[in-house]
Structure 1
Amino acid sequence: MRFETQDALELARRAAMKAGASEAVAASLADATVSAEWAGNRAVGFAHLPDYLDGFVKGRIAKDAAPEIDFAAPAVIQADAKRGIAQLGFDRAFAQLVERTHTYGVTVFSQSNSFTVGELGYYTRRLAQAGLVALAVTNATAQMTTLESRKAVYGTNPLSFGAPRDGGKPFVIDQASSSTAFVNVRRAAERGETIPEGWAVDAHGQPTTDAREAVKGLLLAFGGARGANIALMVEILAAGLTGGNWSLDAPSFAEGEHSPAVGLFIVALAPRVLAGDFEARLSAQLERLAAHGVRIPGSHLDVTELDIADELIAKIEAL
């Protein structure tokens, strides 16, 4: 089905409220869901919404959580998501995060005790739209291993970078420390598709290209030890500095009744404090790199319509 933006927002909002979410929680989640679709990150758009709906019903997500916001220092904002969604805490701190970053040049946003953050690029993209450069990291339930360990030690531990540029959409990188996101493996399993080598191991720790076996196993870090090092760095920022659960201690985001209670860590910078012509220089540099054959992240995406599969809509309606 093809949706107008407002109709898509209403579908997501209504589904969340039917699952028990408060108006504030439902509205925040709907905004992030539709934003992911428009950004071309459909795996964490409506395809990810059933995880939230099931979380509301089963108790993994507090349905009416009211995030607690504190200002530990002039350029530090701390949030406790109170076992709710990560997006609401960010939404409620957003205005202060932008204002303080423009005032002080840099501000840190640190949030603990939330469900999975959804599309991580949602946070950096919004800050870039406000004229800021941002780096965001988060951790999640342990579902990634290394070939040396063969045990679940990290979440997919993504990181995202966003920056404003002249004459175009914000530049955004959003990638996991794993070779892919778990939702991509699950989607391949549902379709009976194979997955590339290096994405995952099966339940016995053996590398596999069978998505159905990979779902029973674990994801692998990209680039071997280098990717695992980045996952650890993300873990230290997202869990260590926020006070959220380490991935090893985070309950499942897909089963049970306990919140993963993980962290979200963001550093926002005001580029004009450092380089007044930053946006123009970035635009020119990206154009120059593209002319050299470099694929600029996001440049291959051109979403002009919101199309949602009938079976996914039926699944959402059923939930």
Structure 2
Amino acid sequence: MKLNVEEATGLARKAAMSAGANEKIAASLANATVAAEVSGRPAVGFAHLPDYLEGFASGRISCDAQPDIDFPTATTIRADAKNGIAQLGFDLCFDRLVDRAKQYGVALFSQSNSYTAGELGYYTRRLAGADLVSIAVSNGPALVTTMESRQPVFGTNPFSFGAPVANGSPLVIDQASSATAFVNVRDAASRGEPIPDGWAVDQQGIATTNAQDALTGMLLAFGGSRGANIALLVEVLAAGVTGANWSIDAPSFEQGEASPGVGLFVVAIDPKVFAPDFPARLASQIDRLTAKGLYVPGRGRKADDIVLKLSVLDAIRRYFPSGDVAV
């Protein structure tokens, strides 16, 4: 099924409401889902939506959560997602986060007790659109190990960086601390395809290229101990500073009735406090780097239409009473 942005947003919103979410939650999730697709990250777009729908239906995600929000200091915003989606708390605080960053030069957003954060670039891309430089980190249930540990110790613990670029789309870096994202392994397993060496180990901690064995095993941190160090850094900020569950204490994001209760931590910086011409300087530097053959992430062509696979449509269809997903 090929959809334009408006149609895709409507479908995602209706699907979330059909699974039990209220209108505000459904709208927030739909916007984030479509943003991932438009930015070329379909693995955390509609392919990830059924995880949310099943979470609503099973009780892992609160269908009517209203985040508690307070302001501990002039430059900090703290949210408790109340076992709801991560995107809603950020959406509710976005304008105030931007205002504080521009007033004070820097502002921090800390959120605990949410479902996993989805596409992390969603948060930094929006802040770049407000002319801010930002760093975002989040944790999740423990799926990642090292060859030394061979036990699940971290979530995929992604981190994202965003920055405004004059006369162009923002610079957005969004990657997991694991060798790959869990959704990529699950996608390979669904197609019966192998995964690259170095992505995962099986239940016994033995390296595997079998995607099915990886699903019941563990992902590996990228780059060995260096990637594990970054995963730990993310964990300290996303779980430690926010007060959310540590990854090893977080319930599954795809089984059971308990929320993962994980965290999201965002730093927003106004670069013009230090360099008034920052967006133009960055645009010039990116031009120099691309002329040297460097791939710069987040700068590719954006999707005009969204194409949904039949398998994804079938998974969404389960949550519509009539089975009709027409928009």
Q: Same fold (TM over 0.5)?
A: yes
Q: CA deviation at 1:200?
A: 0.3
Q: Point out where structure 2 has 5 or more consecutive residues left out of the alignment.
A: 320-327
Q: CA 1:188–1:158 in structure 2 vs 1: closer, same or farther (change >3 Å)? A: same
For residues 12-31 of structure 1, what are the structure 2 equivalents within 5 Å?
A: 12-31=12-31
Q: CA deviation at 1:68?
A: 0.8
What is the CA–CA distance in structure 1 between the aligned matches of 2:54 and 2:84, rounded to whole Å? 13
Partner of 2:181: 181
Partner of 2:83: 83
Tell me if structure 1 keeps the 8 A contact 2:170–2:298: no
What is the CA–CA distance in structure 1 between the aligned matches of 2:13 and 2:317, rounded to whole Å? 12
For residues 135-284 of structure 1, what are the structure 2 equivalents within 5 Å?
A: 135-284=135-284
Residue type of the alignment partner of 2:305 = E
Aligned-partner SS, 2:297 = coil
What is the CA–CA distance in structure 1 between the aligned matches of 2:211 and 2:33, rounded to whole Å? 25
Q: CA deviation at 1:301?
A: 4.7
Residue type of the alignment partner of 2:20 = G
What is the CA–CA distance in structure 2 between the aligned matches of 1:247 and 1:163, rounded to whole Å? 28
What is the CA–CA distance in structure 1 between the aligned matches of 2:10 and 2:94, rounded to whole Å? 23
Q: Percent identity?
A: 61
Tell me if structure 1 keeps the 8 A contact 2:4–2:304: no
Q: CA deviation at 1:298?
A: 2.6
Aligned-partner SS, 1:237 = helix
Residue type of the alignment partner of 1:249 = D
TM-score by length of 2: 0.96
Residue type of the alignment partner of 1:215 = L
TM-score by length of 1: 0.99
Aligned-partner SS, 1:213 = helix
Q: CA 1:300–1:95 in structure 2 vs 1: closer, same or farther (change >3 Å)? A: closer
- Residues 41-99 of structure 1: CA deviation (Å, up to 9, x unaligned): 10000000000000001110000000011000000000000000000000000010001
What is the CA–CA distance in structure 2 between the aligned matches of 1:18 and 1:303, rounded to whole Å? 27
What is the CA–CA distance in structure 1 between the aligned matches of 2:177 and 2:254, rounded to whole Å? 20
Partner of 2:51: 51
Q: CA deviation at 1:222?
A: 0.3
What is the CA–CA distance in structure 1 between the aligned matches of 2:300 and 2:266, rounded to whole Å? 26
Partner of 1:70: 70
Q: CA deviation at 1:153?
A: 0.2
Moved over 3 A (4+): 299-302
Tell me if structure 1 keeps the 8 A contact 2:102–2:270: yes
What is the CA–CA distance in structure 2 between the aligned matches of 1:84 and 1:299, rounded to whole Å? 31
Aligned-partner SS, 1:64 = coil
What is the CA–CA distance in structure 1 between the aligned matches of 2:308 and 2:231, rounded to whole Å? 32
- Residues 198-248 of structure 1: CA deviation (Å, up to 9, x unaligned): 000011110011111111100000000000000000000000000000000
Q: CA deviation at 1:300?
A: 4.4
Aligned-partner SS, 1:116 = coil
Residue type of the alignment partner of 1:312 = V
- Residues 134-170 of structure 1: CA deviation (Å, up to 9, x unaligned): 0000000000000000000000000000000111111
What count of residue pairs does the alignment treat as equivalent? 319
Quick check: 1:318 aligned with 2:321? no
Q: CA deviation at 1:318?
A: 1.1
Aligned-partner SS, 1:212 = helix
Quick check: 1:307 aligned with 2:299? no
Residue type of the alignment partner of 1:196 = P
Residue type of the alignment partner of 2:140 = A
What is the CA–CA distance in structure 2 between the aligned matches of 1:131 and 1:272, rounded to whole Å? 9
Partner of 1:60: 60
What is the CA–CA distance in structure 2 between the aligned matches of 1:299 and 1:86, rounded to whole Å? 25
What is the CA–CA distance in structure 1 between the aligned matches of 2:155 and 2:39, rounded to whole Å? 23
What is the CA–CA distance in structure 2 between the aligned matches of 1:91 and 1:111, rounded to whole Å? 12
What is the CA–CA distance in structure 2 between the aligned matches of 1:270 and 1:302, rounded to whole Å? 26
Pairwise CA RMSD? 0.8
Q: CA 1:187–1:301 in structure 2 vs 1: closer, same or farther (change >3 Å)? A: farther
Q: CA deviation at 1:314?
A: 1.9
What is the CA–CA distance in structure 1 between the aligned matches of 2:126 and 2:242, rounded to whole Å? 21
Moved more, 292-301 or 242-251: 292-301
